């Protein structure tokens, strides 16, 4: 069972999400109804023996602890959940802190990363214990954390991907990335291609010259970038601008030979070896992809591997120099 698994149970018994299914989930739903009636959070502990562990998704039994929180009309709760929704919509990061003790009403705040002022009205805003717990965000990555009687949870908005090139492959990458949960920005220098009407999966569509792309989107350590323009010269120009940035992921469409030539060009332009080595090229997992749709799947699959810290990258584009004369390979003919 994932530490970030969530289940929403409505007053009518409808369910959204899961915490593992089987008997465990049935017990959690029953207790959730009690929590909703009493309007106070509860920590539900379930001991699993080897006979029933399989039903709970555990291989050797163990103990599952489920935090159950009521959601009902209340100014503090409304402000917190509204802020959480806004953070996710902005594809940003935040922290949510929920207290176990609601004796004097809900105690919950949501803060964007770096913000020192709490959200949630007078009750939440005057709770220094919640603020102190929120400061623990830097001590963990993407897992919830228990601090005494406080549950501290990271809020991570949709990961952001910027796709350069709105042609056949770029448009398909936008569709697959959106389906997989990314906030998608597509950039092209042709207004007829950078048209929101033909890129309905994209959250943003930008038209700009490829020689000046840094203002087209936000580029930081949480940004994924895919370069898939119509020509090698454009790809190299874009890579020269974004490769030195501390991106989460940078992939470039094309054959091994194209990747090797781009690495050589970037080095001549003064781009450092470390930045060049971070470029995934040829981009995508090696699954024998051939059509634009299949190539898009291979690219987003590699992005997912990077996001889940299980990247199976084949090396940076500079590594393509060693194989540039060996042919293009199954997935490499992506020019």
Q: Which pLDDT tens digit goes with each residue over 298-308?
A: 999 999 999 98
Per residue in 65-98, pLDDT (tens digit) is: 889 999 999 999 999 999 999 988 877 888 899 9
Shared-domain flag, residues 84 and 196:
no
Instruction: Identify the CA nearest to 238 among candidates 137, 167, 131, 164.
Output: 164
Length of the chain: 335
Burial 17-52 (b: 16+ CB within 10 A, else e): ebbbeeebbeebeebbeebbeeebbbebebebeeee
Q: Which residue has the higher pLDDT, 146 or 210?
A: 210
Structural domain including 59 reads 7-68
| Residue 259 forms part of a structural domain | yes
Burial 5-15 (b: 16+ CB within 10 A, else e): eebebeeeeee
CA dihedral 213, 214, 220, 225 (to 10 degrees): 10
Shared-domain flag, residues 219 and 280:
yes
Per residue in 165-176, pLDDT (tens digit) is: 999 999 999 999
Shared-domain flag, residues 29 and 128:
no
Residue 316 pLDDT > 70: no
Q: Is 233 helix (H, G, I), strand (E, B) or coil?
A: helix
pTM: 0.70
Per residue in 119-128, pLDDT (tens digit) is: 444 434 447 7
Shared-domain flag, residues 51 and 110:
no
Shared-domain flag, residues 284 and 199:
yes
Shared-domain flag, residues 181 and 60:
no
CATH value at residue 298: 3.40.50.720
182: exposed, middle or buried (C-beta count within 10 Å: 0-12, 13-18, 19+)? buried
Count how many Cα atoms sit within 13 Å of the Cα of residue 306 in the half-sphere of its side chain: 27
Q: Which residue has the higher pLDDT, 316 or 310?
A: 316
Q: Is 321 helix (H, G, I), strand (E, B) or coil?
A: helix
Shared-domain flag, residues 292 and 318:
yes
């Amino acid at each position: 069972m994932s530490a970030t698994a969530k289940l929403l149970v409505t007053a009518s018994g409808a369910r959204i999400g899961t915490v593992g299914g089987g008997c465990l989930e049935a017990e959690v739903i029953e207790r959730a109804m009690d929590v909703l009636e009493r309007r106070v959070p509860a920590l539900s502990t379930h001991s699993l023996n080897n006979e029933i562990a399989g039903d709970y998704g555990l291989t050797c039994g163990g103990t599952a602890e489920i935090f159950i929180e009521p959601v009902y009309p209340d100014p503090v709760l409304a402000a917190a959940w509204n802020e959480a929704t806004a953070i996710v919509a902005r594809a940003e990061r935040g922290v949510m802190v929920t207290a176990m003790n609601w004796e004097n009403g809900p105690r919950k705040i949501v803060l964007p990363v770096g913000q020192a002022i709490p959200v949630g009205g007078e009750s939440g805003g005057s709770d220094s214990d919640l603020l102190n717990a929120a400061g623990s965000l830097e001590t963990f990555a993407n897992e919830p954390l228990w601090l005494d009687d406080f549950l501290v949870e990271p809020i991570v908005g949709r990961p952001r991907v910027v796709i350069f090139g709105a042609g056949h492959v770029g448009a398909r990458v936008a569709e697959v990335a959106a389906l997989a949960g990314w906030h998608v920005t597509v950039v092209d220098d042709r207004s007829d291609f950078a048209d929101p009407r033909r890129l309905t999966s994209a959250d943003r569509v930008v038209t700009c010259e490829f020689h000046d792309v840094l203002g087209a989107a936000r580029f930081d350590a949480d940004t994924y970038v895919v370069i898939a323009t119509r020509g090698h010269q454009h790809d190299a120009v874009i890579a020269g601008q974004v490769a030195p940035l501390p991106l989460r992921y940078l992939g470039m469409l094309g054959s091994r030979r194209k990747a090797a030539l781009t690495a050589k060009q970037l080095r001549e332009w003064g781009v450092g070896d470390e930045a060049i080595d971070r470029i995934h090229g040829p981009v995508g997992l090696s699954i024998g992809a051939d059509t634009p749709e299949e190539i898009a799947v291979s690219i987003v699959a590699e992005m997912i591997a990077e996001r889940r810290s299980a990247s199976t990258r084949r090396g940076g584009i500079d590594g393509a120099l060693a194989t540039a004369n060996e042919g293009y390979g199954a997935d490499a003919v992506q020019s």
